[in-house]
Chains A and B, each alone.
Chain A
Amino acid sequence: MTTIEKIVPESAAGPKHQSPRPTFRQRLSRWDVRYSPYLYIAPFFVVFALVGVFPLLYTAYVSLFDWEIGDDNPKFIGFENYSELFGDAQFWNSLTNTLSIFVLSSGPQIIMAVLLAALLNTKLRGPTGWRVGILLPYAASLVALGIIFANLFGTRYGLVNGLLETLGLDRVDWQAGSFSSHVAIAVMVNWRWTGYNALIVLAAMQAIPRELQEAAIVDGAGPIRRFVSITLPLLKPTLIFVVITSTIGGLQIFTEPKLFDAMPGSNNGGSTNQFQTVTLYMYQSGFENFSLGYASAIAWVLFVLIIVIAGVNFLVTRRLTRTTGLK
């Protein structure tokens, strides 16, 4: 009986608009359409909430305390950690170091990656071999690379200084100087990441329709003109991705400077903190000085900084690759 009432057409239900009550099955089906997609993507967000959002927020919470590791009653101090941080010369020093290493690594790295990709995109014998070849540094263990490079840049017995000497140049105390140590670390970073980025750029290059290139050839454009006017603009989304991931990675650089330090296991970043990065300083504050609150404050400042710099990079890259106006 009730079912009949339910399928009475709307017009018969009277002037007051009243939708018929759907069956359970129908409701189920509607829920399915409306809510299932959320369920399907939920695992990511649940995991993300657990290992991403929660630590992020908890870190913000911890940063408001004078919280020593193992402290049973941490003291709430509001934003004191932050105000101390902004007056901390060592923090600004580590920030300068990080930015300097970031610029020295990411800049050359992306230019080299695009050029390498362009070379790999030409007709080569055994293309897979070459492509796997440039990815090898990425596959090698980071710690092993760090140890090897720290050896290469050794002051007295390092290979790099040996080469410089045979070329008639002066030895460089790579560890001692600010700039020299940053260059050495940037070389390590570039060695590892250039090939990886080149492969991503290469994939994007191969997705560029051949017709565009052919049309340009017909119009009489040379290879350089085609690279600048067709390839680069069409690489825009990929370049933005590469720039942003390398920003994130570059600003969080940790293992390379840690292993570069001659004192094993040290988080000092050299004798006068000349290559201590923000993450190294954060680690030192948290796990050597045991002040979790202070380390958390550093983590948050770094987080905000990464967002700002990645945002700036995003805008700049978009502007740069848009110049030719190809759409």
Chain B
Amino acid sequence: MRRIRKGLTIAVGLAVTAAMSTACAGGDDTAAPAAAAPGEKVELTIATFTEFGYENLLPEYESLHPNIKITHRKTGQGGPHHQNLIAKLGAGSGLADIEAVEEGHLSDILDKSSKFNDLTKIGPQEVTPDRWLGWKYDAGKSKDGKLVGYGTDIGPLAMCYRKDMFEAAGLPSDPASVKPLFATWDSYFAAGAQFIGKSGGKAWFDSAAQNFNAMVNQLDVGYLDRDDKLTIESNAGIRSAWDKVTAAVAQGQSAKLTAFSNEWNSGFKQSAFATKVCPAWMLGVIKEQAGPENANKWAVTDAFPGGGGNWGGSFLTVPTQSKHPKEAAELAAWLTAPEQQLKAFEAKGTFPSQTKALESPQLLAETNPYFGDTKVGELFVTQAKKVTKPQYKGPGDGQIQENVTSPALTAVEQGKSAAEAWTQVVDGAKKITR
């Protein structure tokens, strides 16, 4: 008896703990939204992550529209925000009226476009495509032509580099004369080979994946084509980018630091690498991580291997769960208007995607003292205009980058052969898209 009871207790105990390990999904209910009567009190919620610069804008909107009350839900990091978004999209309730979506997660959201409102239908009619850069506007459209998100900010790519390390290695160092080094990826990696020969152990770039992602983003066709078919085995552009990057790793050009890891942060302070793929928002990251002791050592130039590129930036979406989609779309349209986006840029440095905002004298005159008073506003506007069209990103695109190619390149940096790692890439990408 004693033994039986003990066994039972253990079994129950096990069941309790195991239950905690199992997942659960909720039901689904979609209520048809109704537009509020004029003058009726409306409560809107907006969910954003990291910094959108909306802290002062939302009260301003409330004072312009006395019948509207806005609740701002802020999440510190993008990852949890998007996981929450997907989970509640599945649960059928619990989302905010406006949900921010980051570029990297956009393909998963566009894949579920049936759960979002078409902003061309419910949004204010005066909002037209020409408000945004063409590629930014197009990126917010789903395959069936719905406009799922209004663009907020972008991350046009430039190159950041260490002037002092370039000089020490005998390379040209002022922003005009380094441009030829950053003309193409071939010239970039060739300069890297030259650099590491004289740098005394310092690396050329921080992480292989950072360059590879930028290279793949510049291709006409990415990991998936417009039919959502995996291109990884047939896409010569991807393979050539892979070969170039892994060859550079083999030469010792990579500092082998995983982006955004603690080691990577320390790498800035320790001057572990001389160049960095640099979207507009990266300037703030560099300033913070490299610290005051490296002020004026970093420079940025309006050249990027292979033309232009974009990394990052977000969209505001209105899920069909919203009870006040019309009002939500109006608020989203107002927040993404050039005037407001410029204020957000001033508050938190989110680089505007709106054509009018890009012509603003205030933006063009923006300088950055940490980078030797470079006119960064003008510089990134130039870079933003070099981007021609968005690459189509099918469902799973972001995952292939995050969970397949980036880890495989880390494995190469840790000593795995490029050929073996390529097999890892192909298998992993197939598994995600099966």
Contacts and interface: CB of A to CB of B under 8 A. Distances in A.
A55 B20 CA distance: 8
A265 B77 contact: yes
A263 B407 contact: yes
B258 interface: yes
Interface in B28-53: 28
B306 interface: no
Interface centre among A147, A155, A262 (most CB of B within 10 A): A262
A70 B111 CA distance: 11
B407 A270 contact: yes
Contact of B14 (A154, A175, A306): A306
A227 B411 CA distance: 48
A268 B25 contact: no
B18 A303 contact: yes
B23 A295 contact: yes
B234 interface: no
A48 interface: yes
A157 B270 contact: yes
Nearest to A71: B90
B87 A307 contact: no
A287 B261 CA distance: 22
Contacts of B213: none
A264 interface: yes
Contacts of B1: none
B87 A48 contact: no
Contacts of A244: 10, 13-14
B408 interface: yes
Contact of B407 (A55, A70, A271, A306): A271
A214 interface: no
A268 B410 CA distance: 12
B10 A310 contact: yes
Nearest to A278: B21
Contacts of A282: 21, 23
Contacts of B410: 262-263, 271
Nearest to B3: A318
A158 B259 CA distance: 16
B406 A154 contact: no
Interface centre among A267, A268, A272, A287 (most CB of B within 10 A): A272
Given A157-B270, A287-B83, A306 B18 contact: yes
Contacts of A287: 83, 86-87
A157 B22 contact: no
B15 A56 contact: yes
Nearest to A286: B23
Interface centre among B18, B259, B260 (most CB of A within 10 A): B18
A296 interface: yes
Interface string B380-417: 00000000000000000001001100111011011110
Contacts of A307: 11, 14, 18
A308 B129 CA distance: 60
Contacts of B266: 154, 156-157
A2 to B, nearest CB: 44
B4 interface: no
A69 B17 contact: no
Contacts of A289: 399, 432
A204 interface: no
Interface string B142-171: 000000000000000000000000000000
B176 interface: no
Contact of B24 (A58, A173, A248, A288): A58
B424 interface: yes
Contact of A70 (B86, B260, B267, B432): B86
Contacts of A104: none
B288 interface: no
Contacts of B264: 262
Nearest to A155: B263
A263 B89 contact: no
A214 B10 CA distance: 34
B214 interface: no
Contacts of B256: 155-156
A248 to B, nearest CB: 5
A197 interface: no
A314 interface: yes
Contacts of A306: 14, 17-18, 21
A279 interface: yes
A191 interface: no
A78 B409 CA distance: 37
Contacts of A300: 22
A296 B424 CA distance: 25
B112 interface: yes
B116 to A, nearest CB: 11
A187 interface: no
A150 interface: yes
A176 B432 CA distance: 23
B403 A266 contact: yes
A219 interface: no
Contact of B16 (A48, A262, A292): A48
B331 interface: no
A5 interface: no
B66 interface: no
Contact of B87 (A59, A69, A296): A69
B272 interface: yes
B291 to A, nearest CB: 14
Contacts of A198: none
A59 B23 contact: yes
B257 A156 contact: yes
Interface in B259-312: 259-264, 266-267, 270, 272
Interface string A38-82: 000000000010011101101100100001011110000000000
Name the 3 nearest CB pairs between A and B, nearest first.
A262-B258, A271-B410, A70-B90
12 contacts: A58-B24, A69-B86, A69-B90, A70-B112, A154-B263, A248-B18, A262-B264, A263-B258, A266-B403, A289-B399, A290-B90, A292-B90
Interface of A: 48, 51-53, 55-56, 58-59, 62, 67, 69-72, 90, 147, 150-151, 154-158, 173, 175-176, 244, 248, 252, 262-268, 270-273, 279, 282, 284, 286-290, 292, 295-296, 299-300, 302-303, 306-307, 310, 314
Given A248-B18, A252-B21, A271-B410, 8 more contacts: A56-B22, A70-B90, A156-B256, A263-B260, A263-B410, A303-B18, A307-B11, A307-B14
